[in-house]
């Protein structure tokens, strides 16, 4: 049973090995190596433009790495059969076709991976969108779009959640809702990898942090280690890490 593995001897669910992406002469992601372990929330922190989204897209096989690889339980994402049942992802919640209702959006997505129809109703309940399920997504606020995006990620009842900036544009209630959701998910022995540029949010959500800047790994440590380092706050640690432009030369 997947939920019974104790967290202390957690498996590496995601293995990122020397992942690199170059666009012409620009290096967006530079030989990134880290692992994401089971049963906890791993925050993926970095300033805007640090390469977080590019990394996320490479994890999902949407962008082809220039070098390196990203593996889920030893397999590239593209080799997972019916991947939604294993990995749930939220990249851009506003990426829906505006003329389709929320329920129908989830219905076609469920069909791609032979996910039973009732799961659509279940996830609509989980994210609190049942009353808006038959509205076209054109009418959705950003908060509702994020909820629909989360519903899509949860659709296959996955063991791994991969979320790119899920709290962007959410009101405090929505932020708290996502935080609780991610904590609960990890507490069930599942795995969460969530990117953010808000260290305050990561301080209360994540157990472990992977920090990148200009496409490079700056830190990979448990949250407690960041704060233990002297008396500085996580915020200070973040700025110390990300402003260290000297490491770039």
Does residue 25 bind another protein (CB under 8 A)?
A: no
Cβ closer to another protein: 62 or 204?
Answer: 62
Nearer to another protein, 55 or 242 (CB): 55
CB of 34 to another protein, least distance (A): 21
Does residue 83 bind another protein (CB under 8 A)?
yes
CB of 18 or CB of 114, closer to another protein: 114
Q: Could you say which of 36, 120, 152, 218 contacts another protein (CB under 8 A)?
A: 152
Q: Find the shortest distance in angstroms from Cβ 227 to another protein.
A: 35
Q: Is 27 a binder of another protein (CB under 8 A)?
A: no
Between the CA of residue 103 and those of 1, 122, 140, 155, what are the distances in Å? Answer: 31, 11, 13, 12
Q: Which is nearer to another protein, 127 or 209 (CB)?
A: 127
Q: How far is the CB of 209 from another protein (least distance, A)?
A: 25
**Residue 195 · residue 161 · CB < 8 Å:** no
Q: Which of 13, 28, 45, 89 binds another protein (CB under 8 A)?
A: 89
- Closest to another protein by CB, 132 vs 206, is 132
Question: With binding defined as CB under 8 A, does residue 104 bind another protein?
Answer: yes
Q: Which of 74, 99, 116, 246 binds another protein (CB under 8 A)?
A: 99
Of the listed pieces 1-9, 59-67, 205-213, 214-222, which binds another protein according to CB under 8 A? 59-67
Phi, psi of 215 (to 5 degrees): 80, 0
Does residue 116 touch another protein according to CB under 8 A? no
Q: State the Cα–Cα distance between residues 107 and 84, nearest whole angstrom.
A: 13
Q: DSSP letter string over the chain?
A: -GGGS-GGG--EEEEEEEEEEEETTEEEEEEEEEEEETTSEEEEE--TTSSHHHHHHHHTTSS--SEEEEEETTEEGGGSSSGGGTEEEES-TT-S-TTSBHHHHHHHHHHHTT--HHHHHHHHHHTT-GGGTTSBGGG--HHHHHHHHHHHHHTT--SEEEEESTTTT--HHHHHHHHHHHHHHHHTT-EEEEEES-HHHHHHH-SEEEEEETTEEEEEEEHHHHHHSTT--HHHHHHHHHT-GGGG-
Smallest gap from residue 229 Cβ to another protein (A): 37
How many residues belong to the site for another protein (CB under 8 A)? 33
- 69 forms part of the interface with another protein (CB under 8 A): no
Q: What is the dihedral of CA 152, 95, 178, 13, to 10 degrees?
A: 60
For residue 200, state whether it binds another protein (rule: CB under 8 A): no
**Which residues contact another protein by CB under 8 A?**
57, 60-64, 77-78, 80, 83-84, 89, 91-92, 94-101, 104-105, 107-109, 111-114, 136, 152
């Amino acid at each position: 049973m997947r939920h019974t593995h104790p967290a202390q001897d957690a498996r590496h669910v995601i293995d990122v090995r020397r992942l690199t992406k170059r666009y012409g002469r620009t290096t967006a992601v530079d030989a990134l190596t880290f692992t994401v372990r089971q049963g906890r929330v791993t925050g993926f922190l970095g300033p805007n433009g640090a390469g977080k989204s590019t990394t996320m897209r490479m994890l999902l096989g949407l962008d082809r790495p220039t070098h390196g690889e990203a593996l889920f339980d030893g397999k590239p994402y593209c080799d997972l059969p019916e991947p939604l049942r294993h990995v749930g992802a939220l990249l851009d919640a506003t990426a829906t076709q505006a003329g389709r209702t929320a329920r129908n959006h989830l219905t076609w997505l469920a069909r791609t991976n032979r996910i039973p129809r009732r799961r659509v109703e279940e996830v609509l309940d989980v994210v609190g969108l049942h009353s808006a399920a038959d509205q076209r997504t054109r009418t959705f606020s950003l908060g509702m779009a994020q909820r629909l995006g989360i519903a899509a990620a949860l659709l296959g009842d996955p063991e791994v959640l991969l979320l790119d900036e899920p709290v962007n544009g959410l009101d405090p209630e929505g932020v708290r809702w996502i935080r609780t959701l991610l904590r609960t998910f990890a507490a069930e022995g599942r795995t969460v990898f969530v990117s953010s540029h808000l260290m305050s949010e990561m301080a209360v959500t994540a157990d472990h942090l992977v920090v990148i800047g200009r496409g490079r790994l700056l830190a990979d440590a448990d949250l407690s280690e960041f704060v233990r380092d002297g008396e500085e706050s996580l915020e200070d640690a973040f700025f110390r890490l990300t402003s260290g432009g000297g490491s770039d030369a």
